Structure 1
Amino acid sequence: MNPKPKITIVGSINMDIVTITDQLPKMGETLIGKQFKMNPGGKGANQAVAAARLGADVRMIGCVGNDSFGPVLKQNMQKEGIDVTNVEPVTDSTGTATIIVYQGDNNIIIVPGANHHVNAAFVESKRDVIADSDVLILQLEIPLDGVQKALEIAKEHHVKVILNPAPICELPAELIEKVDFLTPNEHEYALLQKGLDEKELKEKVILTKGSQGVAFYQGDQEVSIPAYSVKVVDTTGAGDSFNGGFAVALSRGISVSEACRYGNAVAALSTTKLGAQTGMPTGEEVEVFIKGMKG
């Protein structure tokens, strides 16, 4: 078992700009909101934080802008123990997600900004970091050619790859061939099924189903791993928490089914607190939680 697995994340880094309101404005109307906050986000950074809190040696590859948000987001990741040597500033705005929360529902506008620069050429310049990894985690909030290049490098160096296909888009079959594990939710999986070989998908998919847990196939047999029952406060970041937990467990040589259980525990604990990164548990918290459930 590897006690300090090397996990590399190539992905997005955003600042989440959140406005909570009791009323939505009509076009051209100005209203007074209820609450405002800014939180570090982006699926890549979220998954990096999740893995780092669980005790992994995490390296983040990505871009931030040359604005005030960039240094703040890098410092936040450093505080979490993440290696940000390969997070580079570019002449662009830092990625943002502008979120309006109204009656528990979200309206979100994402401006990728600097995340657009995590392309094939940029990823190629980070070849040595990817090659020296136990697990590589990818998502789809960066250019697809950047994802493809990262996969190529990982495949050449026998690095396990987890692709969280979100936000979902059309994926070429040759990309899927290089992935070891796909972690879609049910909506994403339905869209993946339309253009890809179902047999190959079944071999790679770890289907996340929220409160229903996760499911995967062993041959033709579907295996269901139930979710842990907790008092849910906020589900934001639960999927990213699962991916971080699943990656850490896999890198420690744990079986797929046990890695799913571990990922479920991480995701469950993350929903008991407000926020995405702020709610992510430590490795010690997860171990205590799992022991408590078994006891």
Structure 2
Amino acid sequence: MFDLICLGHAALDRVYSIAAFPPEPTKLRATQAMEVGGGMAATAAVAAARLGGRVAFWGRVGDDAAGAAVRDGLVAEGIDVRGLRTCQGAVTSTSAVIVDAAGERMIVTHLGEGLDDDPAGLPWPMLAQARAVLVDVRWPAGSLALLRAARAAGVPGVLDVEMMAGAALAELLDATDHAVFSRPGLAEFAPGLPEPDGLAKARAAGAAVPGVTQGEHGYLWLDPAGRARRQPAFAVRAVDTTGAGDAFHGAYALGVARGLEVADCARQGAGAAALKCTRPGTRAGLPDGAALSAFLAERAAAV
């Protein structure tokens, strides 16, 4: 049995730490450099696996060194990669991540080339063993196919909505149960609207439980009655915010898989995101279940 099947973007991140972002283009010397697995759905899969979930990842990489590194990184986390397709002659997605001393980051992503778009060859029988699915917007054909199949099977779906979602977003929202937007993703979907109104638009498009991650302001979502609810962010000393949203998505989706209430999913996600920010790198700070439970208990006792 799988708690979660995650489908979408897998990448190799090259992370460079700098003292501060310059006011104009120039040359900078990095104080630290590392190469780690990245990608939205792939990092969310790692977040859920670290928390004790049994996780499978479905996605695409090229037959290159970056693709091999992506696969090896997921396998090392105990993630089932039977649905990770190696596309012959293709180029794996890579990202350059620049992080300043305050923990803020800038990301430049190449989404890869020649990656097979057809989801027909995915290991669909595995869906019968899943408690929930999580998809991102970087492989629309695969994400839509999995969300629709999950709904037909009575398996809840969670959609990670980032910028550049494209024309398929309307269909994806109609096919999902939970839609977790980034602030830029929601602004792109509902330009000019206040965030609660943007979430209402997402709900009208089909997502029963829409929400938006708001960084240091926490998580805002609409409950079944359409009322705005909020999970505050947990204050920590941020070293690197890269992957914080993915940490939230993985922990939130694992909560959905385990049948938690939305408020508890959001709290779990906020805790995982906060702990991730305390260490550099896309995945180094992702907590295990014991660390997250201790952190949440400590913060509850402090209230």
The normalised TM-score by structure 1 is: 0.86
Q: CA deviation at 1:247?
A: 0.9
Q: Which residue of 1 aligns with 2:176?
A: 179
Contact map agreement 2:4 2:132 (CA 8 A) in 1: yes
CA distance in 1, matches of 2:219, 2:18: 34
Q: Which moved more, 1:173-182 or 1:240-249?
A: 173-182
Q: Which residue of 2 aligns with 1:97?
A: 95
CA 54–114 in structure 1, closer or farther in 2 if over 3 Å, else same: farther
Q: Which residue of 2 aligns with 1:208?
A: 213
CA distance in 1, matches of 2:121, 2:209: 25
Out of 251, 260, 263, the residue aligned to residue 245 of structure 1 is: 251
Q: CA deviation at 1:239?
A: 0.4
CA distance in 2, matches of 1:287, 1:277: 18
Spell out the pairing of 1:118-133 with structure 2 (5 A cutoff): 119=117, 121-123=118-120, 125-133=122-130
Aligned to 2:161, the other structure's residue is in SS state coil
Q: CA deviation at 1:172?
A: 4.5
Amino acid at match of 2:277: T
Contact map agreement 2:11 2:93 (CA 8 A) in 1: yes
Q: CA deviation at 1:99?
A: 3.3
CA distance in 1, matches of 2:114, 2:137: 10
CA distance in 2, matches of 1:200, 1:230: 35
CA RMSD across the alignment: 2.7
CA 228–113 in structure 1, closer or farther in 2 if over 3 Å, else same: same
CA distance in 2, matches of 1:74, 1:47: 15
CA 123–164 in structure 1, closer or farther in 2 if over 3 Å, else same: farther
Q: CA deviation at 1:140?
A: 1.6
Amino acid at match of 1:291: A
Spell out the pairing of 1:216-227 with structure 2 (5 A cutoff): 216-218=221-223, 219-227=225-233
Aligned to 1:108, the other structure's residue is in SS state strand
Q: CA deviation at 1:108?
A: 3.5
CA 101–271 in structure 1, closer or farther in 2 if over 3 Å, else same: closer
Q: CA deviation at 1:139?
A: 0.7
Identity of aligned residues (%): 27
Spell out the pairing of 1:25-104 with structure 2 (5 A cutoff): 35-91=32-88, 92-101=90-99
CA 108–216 in structure 1, closer or farther in 2 if over 3 Å, else same: closer
- 1:267 paired with 2:243, answer no
- 1:116 paired with 2:115, answer yes
- 1:167 paired with 2:160, answer no
Aligned to 2:255, the other structure's residue is in SS state helix
Aligned to 2:149, the other structure's residue is in SS state helix
Contact map agreement 1:64 1:114 (CA 8 A) in 2: no
CA 241–108 in structure 1, closer or farther in 2 if over 3 Å, else same: closer
Contact map agreement 1:166 1:188 (CA 8 A) in 2: yes
Q: Which residue of 1 aligns with 2:194?
A: none
State how many pairs are aligned: 287
Contact map agreement 1:131 1:153 (CA 8 A) in 2: no
Aligned to 2:284, the other structure's residue is in SS state helix
Residue segments in structure 2 that go unaligned for 5+ positions in a row: 192-197
CA 80–193 in structure 1, closer or farther in 2 if over 3 Å, else same: same
Spell out the pairing of 1:146-165 with structure 2 (5 A cutoff): 146-165=142-161
